């Protein structure tokens, strides 16, 4: 037990130090101060030797009115206007003299570092991490600032001179073996971000602008809504009314040619799939292609065009033929068969590394590597409030679609989350769709082709989990749904999970 505790302390240190390095870099490039005195074109600022270097430039900002959130009525910031630029010429211990390049500053104006060009020299892994806090980071060698990946940390050079260093890892403790994910019990603490106006059917995180910024795109009955992700909130940006039909799923992926995510809206109309593809244009969606006879998905967002798959669906055969798809302009075509395992359903399918994970028609989570099944649960998983009513000669049956899981990373471990929604008594006996609770399970790898699945402590939610998603910077979002006796009582909520190891 003591050995495991020591291992966990080590990995917590690595994780925390890595986050500290990212936060340190963010703070470095967001340095701020104030104008203390203005004398013609000479400006005195309150940043001293440890904060600035000769030659660095700062934007001068003047604060205006408070910005009040229209929903919460809380003050979320202030309007600011750029009123000038200054360049540091002389640095003292507690203050500096700067030359006014342009504008007309006043005493009390705020200043912020103006880092026009920042380059990175290092691995793709760290380049991806740093882009989450420095979106304009470039892979060049002639920038004013250069971030370098070093053996035990991240360094910053200003005009080829070292100016900052942020440590990212401890030296490896001799004799300590790496703990496995299976040794760790995960605890999830949900934090409510926002209540949704009605029952969410599906959702995904989408780069709608091609800039790397993610938006939460939520599918409701009859419409799609787009939310901007903030640190502690979601702000609705726009919505789109869907054509006639029953929406049953939503996925995003870079399947086009312009570097942005397109939105795959899966629908059933009549007795078969009748889906569409949307592209964002400003604060709106426009259809790229309609009347698609497949339920579609991008199974791996790191390989969007390679894993753009469609599966036919109709009331008689349910899920059937599976094909690879490609989109060129508005031309959607089949490019060959996707050799899916028997019982494959695309509604819940996703790739976790080399493993193909899906929930089959009897509720088993099945995991394949290539054409070999490496794991299958015995108990039922999946289920959701996303369904289509299939008419029969006598009455009807509710065909339920399952939410897909998602890959994630925690304490340097790769893992995946899958959903298990527990049916209520009325569903089991009366075919009324109702859930008693939703639960998250984690999938991990013991070693190659040997995986495990187990519940996350605290990962229980009232009624149904409709979607579980992971942002590029590692945030885990969960969308839940509840139903009432009347349709107007249906609603949903968005949570962010705070993961801890026990």
Each residue's pLDDT tens digit, 78-88: 788 999 999 99
3-state secondary structure of 379: coil
Please give the average per-residue pLDDT across 362-376, as a whole number.
Answer: 94
pLDDT of 341 > 80? The answer is: yes
Lowest mean per-residue pLDDT among 12-26, 140-154, 224-238: 12-26
Tally of CB atoms within 10 A around 229: 19
CA 451 distance to own-chain centroid: 24
CB 145 within 8 A of CB 119: yes
Residue 26 makes CB contacts below 8 A (sequence gap 6+) with: 133, 134
Q: What are phi and psi of 21, to 5 degrees?
A: -65, -45
Instruction: Look at residue 174 in the predicted model and tell me its pLDDT.
Output: 38
Q: How confident is the model at residue 208 (pLDDT cuts 50, 70, 90)?
A: very high
Rounded to 10 degrees, the C-alpha dihedral 22/477/282/273 comes to 140
The answer, yes or no, to whether residue 2 has pLDDT greater than 70, is no
Type and span of the H or E element at 267:
strand 262-269
Give the pLDDT mean for 233-250.
Answer: 95
The SS3 call for residue 175 is coil
pLDDT in tens, 3-28: 444 334 333 333 444 557 888 888 89
Pair 376, 367: CB distance under 8 Å: yes
| pLDDT tens track for 483-498 | 988 888 899 999 999 8
Distances (CA, A) of 83 to 101, 109, 117, 301: 11, 9, 21, 42
H/E stretch holding 127 reads helix 124-131
Q: How far apart are CA 484 and CA 296, in angstroms?
A: 30
| Domains of the chain from N-terminus onward | 31-114 (2.40.10.410), 180-199+343-502 (no CATH), 200-338 (2.130.10.10)
Beta bridge partners of 311: 295, 322
For residue 172, give every residue at least 6 positions away whose Cβ sits within 8 Å of its Cβ, in sequence order, or none: none
Region 367-388 average pLDDT? 92
Residue with tokens 């579980």: 468
- The residues near 372 (Cβ < 8 Å, ≥ 6 apart) are 449
Going by C-beta distance under 8 Å and a sequence separation of 6 or more, which residues neighbour residue 375?
365, 366, 367, 451, 452, 453
Mean pLDDT of the chain: 88
pLDDT tens for 398-445 read 899 999 999 998 877 899 999 999 986 555 445 578 898 999 999 998
Distance CA 214, CA 417 (A): 20
Share of the chain above pLDDT 70, in %: 92
State the pLDDT at residue 430. Answer: 52
Give the CA distances from residue 255 to residues 2, 82, 286, 298, 445, in Å, rounded to whole numbers and listed in that order: 49, 39, 16, 8, 29
pLDDT of residue 123: 84
């Amino acid at each position: 037990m003591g050995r495991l505790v020591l291992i966990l302390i080590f990995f917590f240190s690595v994780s925390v130090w890595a986050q500290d390095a990212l936060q340190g870099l963010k703070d470095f490039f967001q340095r701020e101060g104030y104008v203390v005195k203005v004398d013609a074109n000479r400006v005195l600022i309150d940043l001293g030797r440890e904060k600035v270097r000769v030659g660095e430039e700062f934007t001068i900002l003047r604060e205006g009115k408070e910005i009040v959130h229209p929903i919460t009525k809380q003050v979320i910031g202030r309007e600011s206007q750029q009123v000038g630029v200054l360049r540091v010429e002389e640095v003292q211990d507690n203050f500096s003299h700067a030359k006014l390049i342009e504008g007309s500053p006043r005493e009390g104006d705020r200043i912020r570092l103006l880092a026009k060009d920042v380059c990175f020299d290092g691995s793709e892994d760290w380049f991806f991490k740093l882009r989450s806090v420095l979106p304009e980071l470039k892979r060049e060698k002639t920038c004013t600032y250069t971030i370098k990946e070093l053996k035990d940390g991240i360094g910053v050079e200003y005009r080829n001179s070292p100016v900052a260093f942020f440590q990212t890892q401890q030296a490896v403790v001799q004799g300590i073996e790496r703990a496995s994910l299976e040794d760790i019990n995960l605890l999830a603490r949900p934090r409510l971000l926002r209540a949704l106006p009605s029952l969410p059917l599906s959702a995904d995180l989408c780069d709608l602008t091609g800039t790397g910024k993610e938006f939460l795109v939520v599918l409701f009955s009859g419409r799609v809504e787009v939310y901007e992700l903030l640190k502690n909130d979601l702000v609705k940006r726009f919505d789109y009314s869907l054509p006639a039909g029953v929406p049953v799923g939503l996925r995003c992926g870079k399947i086009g040619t312009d570097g942005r995510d397109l939105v795959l809206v899966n629908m059933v109309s009549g007795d078969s799939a009748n889906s569409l593809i949307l592209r964002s244009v400003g604060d709106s969606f426009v259809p790229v292609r309609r009347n698609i006879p497949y339920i579609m998905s991008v199974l791996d967002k790191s390989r969007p065009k390679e894993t753009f798959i469609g599966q036919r669906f109709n009331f008689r055969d349910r899920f059937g033929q599976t094909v690879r798809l490609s989109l060129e302009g508005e031309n959607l075509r089949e490019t060959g068969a996707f050799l899916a395992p028997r019982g494959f359903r695309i509604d819940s399918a996703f790739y976790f590394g080399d493993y193909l994970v899906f929930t089959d028609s009897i509720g088993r989570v099945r995991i394949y590597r290539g054409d070999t099944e490496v794991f299958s649960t015995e108990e039922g998983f999946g289920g959701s409030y996303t369904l289509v009513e299939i008419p029969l000669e006598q009455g009807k049956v509710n065909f339920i679609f399952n939410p897909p899981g998602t890959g994630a990373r925690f304490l340097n471990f790769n893992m995946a989350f899958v959903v298990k929604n527990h049916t209520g008594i009325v569903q089991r006996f009366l075919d009324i769709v109702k859930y008693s609770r939703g639960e998250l399970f984690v999938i991990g790898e013991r070693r190659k082709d040997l995986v495990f699945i187990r519940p996350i402590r605290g990962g229980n939610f009232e009624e149904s989990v409709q979607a579980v998603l992971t942002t590029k910077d590692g945030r885990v979002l969960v969308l839940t749904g509840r139903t009432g006796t009347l349709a107007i009582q249906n609603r949903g909520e968005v949570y962010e999970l705070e993961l801890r190891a026990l």
